[in-house]
Amino acid sequence: MKRAALANAPDRCPVCMRDWAEIPLPKHRKTRWDFDHTVPITRGGKTESGNVRAICYSCNYKKNNNQ
């Protein structure tokens, strides 16, 4: 399911609009993106293509810190 969502991903982070290639890849990570749930799992959201988008790890990190 996660791979299907990624297949629909744009070529850049939809939050900060940086190309994936412009985003530095930290050594401890394998990918530059994380999966962002439109409806959080905690509110009944599911990990499926309509509810998941790829955003870069730094946007996801900021988002999680704001919650």
Determine the interface stretch with Zn ion among 5-13, 30-38, 44-52 (rule: CB under 5 A): 5-13
HEC profile for 2-60?
A: HHHHHHCCCCECCCCCCEHHHCCCCCCCCCCEEEEECCCHHHCCCCCCCCEEEEEHHHH
Among 2, 8, 10, 16, indicate the residue that binds Zn ion (CB under 5 A).
Answer: 16
Q: Does 59 bind Zn ion (CB under 5 A)?
A: yes
Q: Does 56 bind Zn ion (CB under 5 A)?
A: yes
Q: Tokens at residue 58, please? A: 């730094």
Q: Between residues 9 and 15, which has the closer beta carbon with respect to Zn ion?
A: 15
What is the contact surface with Zn ion in residues (CB under 5 A)? 13, 15-16, 56, 59
